Structures are given as structure tokens and as C-alpha cells.
Amino acid sequence: MKIGIPRALLYYRYGIFWETFFQKLGHETVLSPRTNKDILTKGEQLSIDENCLSTKLFFGHVAALEGKCDYCFVPRIANLGDAGRFCSRFEALPDMCSNMFRDTGLKILRANIDPEQNIPAKRAYLKLAMQLGASREQAQAAYEAGMAAQMEDFRKKIKLNRALLKKEGIKVLVVSHPYNLYDEYIGAPIIKSIRNLDAVPICSDGVDPREARSKSTEIARYVPWVVSRELLGAIQMYRNQIDGIVLITAFPCGPDSMVNEMIIRRISHVPILNLLLDSQDGNAGIDTRLESFIDIIRFRKEVEQ
């Protein structure tokens, strides 16, 4: 069977797991292409205006899979138990998609992950595998292979950040949800611009998530969201090794609207640039702001020396 995976939102957190898992079960996986103008336009048409850019892109990616797969995989991922909750959008995605694409031929493949209601991820994925016709042993093996691939990817990202931190020059921690950081239309151009300005961009997701979540309480104690906790943790773990922080937010992200305010109020010794992105053409405005931000850091460093 051909299973489509939209290259958006939690793909950037769990994508490697999903691909390995489905392939181990003997299915073919089809990824939507990298974000392009068509995907953005389609996503904007499908969505109401108020949704965040990342969600609009997600719908564009789902639409790009129409006719290219037997099923499109859209899981409901509500929380990770004690590790925290996800934005409620991730609880709603499968039902949103099934309603939005009701009159098309697109079929949604679901999984329900909700440890708070006693459905831990492992149980949800084993159930899904068995629905797809696998035996319990096959399901177990696919799950473990997926987890191993995922862990390997985490280790790679952490190693990369360690190497980057040893580099000379201005180091900037780029803090954003992974689905913004790596998207062609959101984070990727910003990371490229930072590099072009002779600074070293360091991505916030290159941390051990568990360690990051526990460190996050040193900045703010009662943040309910998993990803926000990890972003705070990354700041806490790296704050003494970096020269500046760039926050990237897709307007009007619910968690970011509050957590970024907290970061700005509680982190005082590192310069912070807060970039709010909406669907827009051209990056000239953002480039100018980045340039002056890096200039200020450079100037500060010179004065300190």
C-alpha cells in the first residue's frame, strides 16, 4: 500500500520514525514535495485566514498528496503524558482533514496518541500496524526499528550542535518549532541569511528532549506544551555559549504568543530578535532586521573586548 506523509508540522519531529515504521511493515511511503509556491497557495485557499502559516502549509501538503497515495497519514497526537501537551491543533488535524477533504478521493489514515487518556504512543502504533494487517511481532519490530532510527537522528542533531558551538565567530541560537525551522518558506531562508552574514546558526531542536524539558523549568515552571518546554530548555542549556537568540514564530501561534513574551521578559543578558512570519513574498524586511541584529552583536563583542 502507498502511504502519503505530508512534509509539514510534526513530520519534522516524527518523520523519520513514520517512514521507517511504514517501510518496515512493507508499505511504500510517499512524501509531499518540499514547500513551494503552489503548496503555499493551495494551503491558503483551503484554510481560513486566521490559521498559522505552518497549518496553512500543512493543508497544502495534504492536498499535494491527492491522487499520489492510497492513504494520507494524519495522526492525532494530543500529549506525551507528563512530558506535556501539544498545541490543541494536533488533536484536531485528522478530523479537520477528513472534513476539508470529504468530497475528494483522499482517504485519511489515523492513529490516536493520547497518554493522558491511557493510549501511549507505542500502543497506538502497534494498533495501527495490526489494522494494516501486520502480526504483533511484525508490528513490534517495525516500532522498534522506527524508534532506533529516530534516536539516531536525535544523536546526529546533538552532535552537529556540539561541533557548531566550538566554531569561531558569532553564534546565534535559532529558536522555533522544528516545522518552522526547516521549512523552505519559513525558517530555511532565515538560517541561510544568518550564515551569509558570517554568523553560525544553531538550531534549537539539537538537544536531548528529555534534558531540555527538565531544564526549561529554570526559566518558566508551568508551561504546558512539550515543544515550548524543549525550546525553553534549549535556551537554558545554550545561553552561556551563544551571542544572540532569534525567535521565529508563525503568526498567530498560540503557544508562542505567550511563551515568547516570557522568554523576552526573563532572559536579559542575551540579545533577542523576535521574527513574526505571516504568508508573505520576499524576505527583504527580514534580511534587514537580521543584518542590524548581527551588527549589534558584533559591536557589543568589540566593545567588550
Partner 1 sequence: MSAKPYNLTYPQLGNYDIPIGFLVRKGLGLAYTSPPPMTKQTIELGAKHSPDYVCAPFKCMMGCYIEAMEKGANVIIQTGGTCRLGYYGELHEQILKDLGYDFKIMNLTLAQYGGIMGILGGIKKYAPKRKWSQIAKVIPTVAKMIKSIDKVEDYMRKNMGFEDIPGSFEKIYKHFLSKLRQAETTKDVEELYHLTMRSFSRLPVHKPDDPVRVGIIGEYFTIMDPFSNHEIEKKIAMMGAEVHRWMDLSHSVLSCPDDNALDMLRSYAKYDLKRFPSSIWVDSQRKKIKKYVSEDMGASSVATIAMADHYAASGFDGLVHVKSFGCTPEMDAIPVLHNISADYKIPILYLSYDTQSSDTGIETRAEAFYDMISMRKEARQS
Least distance to partner 1, CB of residue 22, Å: 21
The C-alpha cell of 71 is what?
Answer: 492513504
Comparison of 154 and 251: residue with beta carbon closer to partner 1: 251
H/E stretch holding 108: strand 108-109
The residue within the footprint of partner 1, chosen from 67, 168, 222, 281 (CB under 8 A), is 222
Query: Which one of the spans 5-13, 17-25, 66-74, 260-268 is the region binding partner 1 (CB under 8 A)?
Result: 260-268
- What binding mask, one character per residue, do residues 202-221 give for partner 1 by CB under 8 A, x or -? ------------------xx
Please give the size of the binding site for partner 1, defined by CB under 8 A: 40
With H, G, I as helix, E, B as strand and everything else as coil, classify residue 199.
Answer: strand
**Amino acid sitting at position 152:** E
**Residue 206 in contact with residue 176, Cβ under 8 Å?**
no
257 binds partner 1 (CB under 8 A): yes
35 binds partner 1 (CB under 8 A): no
Least distance to partner 1, CB of residue 263, Å: 11
Nearest alpha-carbon partner for 81 in 119, 124, 122, 116: 116
User: Residue 120, exposed/middle/buried by CB under 10 A (0-12, 13-18, 19+)?
Assistant: middle
Question: What is the dihedral sign for C-alpha 290, 295, 296, 297?
Answer: positive
The residue within the footprint of partner 1, chosen from 3, 74, 259, 275 (CB under 8 A), is 259
Comparison of 127 and 157: residue with beta carbon closer to partner 1: 127
The residue within the footprint of partner 1, chosen from 130, 141, 158, 262 (CB under 8 A), is 262
Laid out side by side, the sheet with 244-250 consists of: 199-203, 170-175, 244-250, 272-277
Q: Residue ranges of the alpha helices (H) in 132-216?
A: 136-165, 178-181, 187-196, 209-216
Comparison of 29 and 51: residue with beta carbon closer to partner 1: 51
Residues in 47-106 at the binding interface with partner 1, rule: CB under 8 A: 48, 50-51, 76, 78, 85, 87-89, 91-92, 94-96, 98-100, 102
252 binds partner 1 (CB under 8 A): yes
251 binds partner 1 (CB under 8 A): yes
Q: Which residues contact 84 (CB under 8 A, 6 or more apart)?
A: 213, 223, 224, 225, 226, 228, 229
Comparison of 57 and 242: residue with beta carbon closer to partner 1: 57
Q: Are strands 112-113 and 108-109 parallel, antiparallel or unpaired?
A: unpaired
With H, G, I as helix, E, B as strand and everything else as coil, classify residue 171.
Answer: strand
CB neighbourhood size of 84 (10 A): 17
Q: Which residues contribute to the site for partner 1 (CB under 8 A)?
A: 48, 50-51, 76, 78, 85, 87-89, 91-92, 94-96, 98-100, 102, 110, 112, 116, 220-225, 251-252, 254-255, 257-262, 265-266, 276
